[in-house]
């Protein structure tokens, strides 16, 4: 009787359950070439947005602080009223700023107040000498001798009579503030020498004289801190009047939403706060009175607790609201910015997706140059893939609007509406289909082009079909990717935080002095760059130093911002890597295509020796097993 051979085959759980393939995303996303491309994309988008902000700012195109949050949380009619009120308040605040700068330039009360506070009662002699010199200076200078105090209301009346806008008043205030700082510097030049002389004339005991000299040195350091305080006060007041750039406001708001969404996922909170968000959306529209009878039961939105914490989906919807604000309120700015972002992402993002596609399928890493060459060849496909569904939706909307215009014709128009309204509904179904497919399938469009080497129409076709064929599986993969991405992002951010904290701590241990402009206990490094925290890795003080210190601090800031940019780049590369992985596993489920099937160009195929993948290793093992049995 032949001996029985018992063969135990290893179960490949990644074949049974597809979602473990998503866990490759961290390794793929942390690849240096992808991070560099992501960082470059962030820099180019930031530069483009900054240029637009500067150009718009020349014509007063700024928005108030937390503008988008006001837009999102305020009913439409109230928001329009708040904009008009803001324009009036902006002019009044600018007049107040100019009046304050005018008055401060003469009396220097703001600087003296800050100096007294910073010196902590130890600057008596120095401040006394400064006040005396200030009085003499004001008497001997014609502009100060003929000084006339003004109020904000008086300055506002003058501005309206002279037809000045807020930007003109801010420019005048900035000029006055510059004169104030020059005046302070001029008076401080002789204060220390005169104060020393005055202390010696007091003929104090040696111990008291030494103590007075120490107080004088402390007071002079406090004067530098007071100058910094004044610069910060004026900069804050000026920013409050000027507002912030459209791009800066938009990116800041979107960044806050992303951070809050990540924190929500960390707490496994996905759908929290939907009831409150629904009320928020409904408050923007006036609805007709309901004809339904009141059953006495609570409304569905009232079933959720009022203090329910907002979940990740709410913050994603809030991000969409921010995009809606950008398009509706600043549509020219939005078109230029979004086209620029799409150009950058089509080239650099396409290269990231291509590296991820080859790495996932073949365990190979193509070079940045090869990836950029691939994305450049298919630039139009990457660029047009998300635009084609949007264009179709817009065309459908225009057709429906045209039908509405025809329906406005008396008598005949109503008949036209009645007859062809079924066609309008069919067009609406098509628009809804495209919209759902776009929202759910756009993350798979770029992976399609990167994996298949195809065009935008194939990207749209495959992404739509995979999402509609396996909607729950696609949603499950998305949740897994979101949870895994949150964990890995927090790890990456924590690593960056430790890196910057260690750098700041150890460098600070060797730096001494140079921080009197900020505080008595600060040093030069504190002036250039504050101690980082987990959620705020970069805080700089350009106002706390002179032009040379500002230049050196800018160089420090560049290196710190590279680390911060790499952390932000990881979000982009993880999104690209995880969506590529999801594309592969969905393609296998729907089309039964092998995971290692990827379009490869000749230069990529010969670029590097192929590393055996887990699937190929297992198949080779199975073949060897079969050969052993045959023998």
Instruction: Say whether pLDDT at 389 is over 90.
Output: yes
Q: What span, in angstroms and rounded, lies between the C-alpha atoms of 397 and 366?
A: 43
pLDDT band at 608 (very low <50, low <70, confident <90, very high): low
What's the rounded Cα separation, in Å, for the pair 129 and 125? 6
The backbone region for 584, taken as left when phi is positive above 0, alpha when psi lies in -120 to 50, beta otherwise, is: alpha
Query: Where do the structural domains in the chain lie, given as residue ranges?
Result: 78-242, 247-282+304-475, 478-630
What mean pLDDT value characterizes the chain?
82
What whole-number distance in Å separates Cα of residue 263 and Cα of residue 266? 5
pLDDT for 487-525, tens place per residue?
Answer: 999 999 999 999 999 988 888 877 776 655 566 666 677
Phi, psi of 190 (to 5 degrees): -105, 0
pLDDT tens sequence across 212-231: 888 888 888 888 888 888 88
Tokens coding 193: 């020498």
Q: Residue 5 above 70 pLDDT?
A: no
| Residues composing the chain | 631
Give the closest residue to 118 by CA, choosing from 234, 232, 240, 237: 232
> What backbone torsions phi and psi does residue 21 show, to the nearest 5 degrees?
-65, -25
The conformation of residue 609, written as its DSSP 8-state character, comes to P
What integer pLDDT is reported at residue 486 of this predicted model? 92
Instruction: Report, as an integer, the average pLDDT of 409-415.
Output: 83
**pLDDT tens, residue by residue, 115-167:** 888 888 777 888 888 888 888 888 888 777 677 788 888 888 888 888 888 88
User: For residue 59, what are the contacts with CB-CB under 8 A and spacing of at least 6?
Assistant: none
Give pLDDT, residue 585. Answer: 92
When pLDDT is averaged across residues 356-369 and rounded to a whole number, the result is 90
Per-residue pLDDT, averaged over 60-79, amounts to 82
Query: Which range (50-54, 237-241, 546-550) has the least confidence?
Result: 546-550
Q: Please list the residues that pair with 62 across neighbouring strands.
A: 245
- What single DSSP character describes residue 365? -
Nearest to 243 by CA among 97, 76, 43: 97
Q: Which stretches of 501-566 are assigned E, i.e. beta strand? A: none
- Residue 489 has what pLDDT? 93
The secondary structure element, H or E, covering residue 224 is helix 206-242
CA distance 483 to 376: 33
């Amino acid at each position: 009787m032949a001996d029985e051979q018992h063969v135990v085959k290893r179960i490949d759980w990644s074949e049974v359950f597809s979602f473990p393939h998503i866990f490759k995303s961290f390794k793929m996303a942390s690849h240096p070439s992808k991070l560099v491309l992501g960082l470059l994309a962030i820099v180019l988008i930031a530069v483009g947005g900054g240029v637009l902000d500067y150009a718009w700012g020349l014509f007063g195109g700024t928005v108030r602080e937390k503008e988008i949050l006001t837009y999102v949380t305020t009913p439409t009619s109230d928001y329009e009223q708040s904009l008009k009120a803001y324009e009036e308040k902006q002019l009044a605040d600018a007049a107040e700023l100019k009046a304050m700068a005018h008055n401060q330039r003469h009396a220097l009360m703001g600087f003296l107040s800050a100096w007294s506070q910073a010196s902590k009662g130890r600057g008596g002699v120095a401040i006394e000498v400064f006040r005396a010199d200030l009085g003499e200076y004001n008497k001997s200078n014609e502009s100060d001798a003929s000084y006339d105090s003004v109020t904000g209301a008086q300055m506002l009346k003058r501005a309206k009579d002279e037809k000045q806008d807020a930007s003109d008043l801010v420019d005048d205030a900035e000029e006055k503030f510059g004169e104030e700082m020059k005046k302070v510097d001029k008076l401080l030049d002789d204060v220390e020498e005169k104060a020393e002389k005055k202390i010696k004339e007091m003929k104090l005991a040696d111990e008291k004289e030494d103590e007075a000299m120490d107080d004088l040195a402390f007071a002079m350091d406090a004067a530098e801190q007071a100058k910094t305080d004044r610069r910060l006060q004026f900069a804050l007041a000026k920013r409050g009047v000027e507002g912030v750039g459209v791009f800066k406001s938009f990116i800041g708001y979107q960044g806050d939403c992303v951070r809050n969404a990540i924190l929500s996922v960390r707490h496994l909170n996905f759908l929290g706060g939907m009831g409150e968000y629904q009320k928020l959306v409904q408050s923007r529209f006036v609805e007709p009175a309901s004809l339904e009878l009141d059953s006495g039961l609570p409304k569905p939105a009232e079933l959720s607790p009022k203090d329910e914490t907002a979940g990740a989906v709410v913050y994603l919807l809030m991000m969409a609201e921010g995009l809606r604000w950008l398009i509706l309120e600043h549509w020219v700015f939005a078109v230029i910015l979004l086209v620029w972002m799409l150009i950058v992402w089509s080239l650099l993002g396409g290269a990231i997706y291509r590296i991820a596609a080859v790495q996932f399928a073949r365990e190979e890493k193509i070079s940045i140059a090869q990836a950029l060459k691939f994305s450049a060849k298919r630039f139009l496909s990457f660029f047009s893939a998300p635009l084609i569904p949007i264009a179709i939706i817009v065309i459908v909307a225009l057709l429906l609007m045209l039908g509405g215009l025809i329906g406005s014709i008396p008598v005949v128009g109503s008949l036209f509406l009645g007859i062809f309204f079924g066609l309008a509904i069919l067009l609406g179904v098509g628009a809804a289909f495209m919209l759902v497919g776009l929202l759910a399938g756009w993350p798979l469009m770029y992976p399609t082009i990167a994996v298949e080497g195809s065009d935008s129409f194939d990207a749209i076709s495959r992404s739509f079909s995979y999402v509609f064929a396996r909607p729950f599986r696609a949603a499950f993969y998305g949740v897994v990717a979101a949870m895994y991405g949150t964990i890995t992002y927090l790890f990456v951010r924590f690593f960056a935080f430790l890196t910057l904290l260690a750098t700041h701590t150890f460098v600070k241990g060797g730096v001494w002095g140079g921080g009197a402009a900020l505080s008595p206990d600060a040093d030069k490094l504190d002036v250039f760059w504050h101690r980082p925290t987990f959620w705020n890795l970069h805080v700089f003080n350009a106002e706390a130093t002179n032009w040379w210190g500002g230049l050196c601090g800018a160089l420090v800031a560049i290196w710190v911002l590279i680390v911060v940019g790499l952390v932000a780049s990881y979000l982009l590369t993880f999104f690209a890597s995880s969506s590529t992985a999801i594309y592969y596993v969905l393609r296998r489920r729907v089309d039964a295509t092998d995971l290692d099937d990827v379009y490869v160009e000749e230069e990529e195929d010969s670029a590097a020796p192929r590393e055996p993948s887990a699937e190929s290793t297992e198949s080779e093992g199975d073949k060897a097993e079969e050969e052993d049995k045959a023998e």
